[in-house]
Structures are given as structure tokens and as C-alpha cells.
A and B are shown apart, each in its own frame.
Chain A
Amino acid sequence: RKEVEQDPGPFNVPEGATVAFNCTYSNSASQSFFWYRQDCRKEPKLLMSVYSSGNEDGRFTAQLNRASQYISLLIRDSKLSDSATYLCVVNQKSNYQLIWGAGTKLIIKP
């Protein structure tokens, strides 16, 4: 079983819709959680951290469920520019390594 699992998609979503996807992690000792975004043929970039209480950044909302060991990302009022692959990332804090999911591909259609 992979340490961080994501639905690879693609999620095909009309512009303006709300879309959500989850990521599960296997190590209960995981302490920090993040979403990175990777555009096609580009490098990954940090999108947002995920806090225990949940957090929001504009149209993006991230949630953490420690009991079930998953994190989620919700995108409201989706834009064409949101089309990308979203990578779920976990850190155990025992070292400085990040454990990366394989990514969920999102395609926003006009």
C-alpha cells in the first residue's frame, strides 16, 4: 500500500462548478499536510498547508481528518486556470522528507 494515495482522475468539471478530492495517508504519525499544484510540464508549487482546524484561501478550502487519515481539497467557482494536477503531500517531522501522492488531475472545461 502506498503511503499517500490519491485518485488519479482526471476530474472533468465545468467552469464555475465546485470540485473536491481526497487523499489518504497510511502513517498515523504524520504531522504536517500540504497540497501542491503542478501545471502540465511545469514544476510543483506549494498551494496551501492543511491545518487541523481546516483552512481556507480564497476559493480553496483544505480539511484534515486525522481519525480517518485523509485530507481534502475543495475548489469553489472553478476557473479554467485551475486545470492542473494536485499533489497531496505529507510530512512526518522525524525528518525533512515530504511523502508525495501521485496527484489528481483536474480539467476545467469552458
Chain B
Amino acid sequence: DAGVIQSPRHEVTEMGQEVTLRCKPISGHDYLFWYRQTMMRGLELLIYFNNNVPIDDSGMPEDRFSAKMPNASFSTLKIQPSEPRDSAVYFCASSLRLRSYEQYFGPGTRLTVT
């Protein structure tokens, strides 16, 4: 069975450009999480969904960030406009409700904003 799939794996963009990160969770998982990881701040939860519904977006840094989950097999994280301080690795993870602590992470998207 395929794990969590993320695309692109690497993204280099210029400041001010729109960036869209994509995630396909493990089939049957009902929770989806978006994280950001940097050396300075470690792993930060940005937002999570339950059954495609956003539950807590308090970790989203600011209005430039938005996330959607139009169906159970797809989610996007969009940054518009991007800034150099958004450079980080963005992970998507999914889990089953009854084992919510066991989160399966995708390989991450390494974003560089110049």
C-alpha cells in the first residue's frame, strides 16, 4: 500500500510567487495534518483536518497561508504571496482516528523562497 504522497518534493520560487503543495493521504485515514519543519523552530503543526473538515488552523502563520481538503484523498497547502521566511520542509501526515498518535508522514516538500 502506498504511503502518504506529497508533491512536489522540491520547490524553488521567488518571493511574491504563489506556491501550492499537494498531499494524498493513506487511503482510509480520516485525519490529515500539515506541518512545517525548520532548524530554528522544529516541527510545527499548521492545520489538521478530520473527514475533510478543518478542525484547527491556529498554527497557520498568517493569511498568506491557506489549506483545503476537497475530498478524502487530496489536500493542498497554498502560500500566496511567498516570502523567504517561508523556506522550510513542509510535511503532510495522516492517521486513523483511533490511533491518532500514529501519524504517517509523507516525504515532505523542501521549499526555498529566494
Contacts and interface: CB of A to CB of B under 8 A. Distances in A.
Contact of B103 (A32, A98, A102, A103): A98
Chain B residues touching A, range: 10 to 19
Interface stretch (B12-20, B42-50, B62-70): B42-50
Contacts of B97: 96
Task: Tell me the dominant secondary structure on chain B's binding face.
Answer: strand
A99 to B, nearest CB: 9
Interface string A73-92: 00000000000000101010
B108 A96 contact: no
Contacts of B108: 43
A8 to B, nearest CB: 10
B45 A97 contact: yes
Interface string B70-114: 000000000000000000000100010100111101111000000
B31 A96 contact: yes
Interface of A: 32, 34, 42-46, 49, 87, 89, 91, 95-98, 100-103
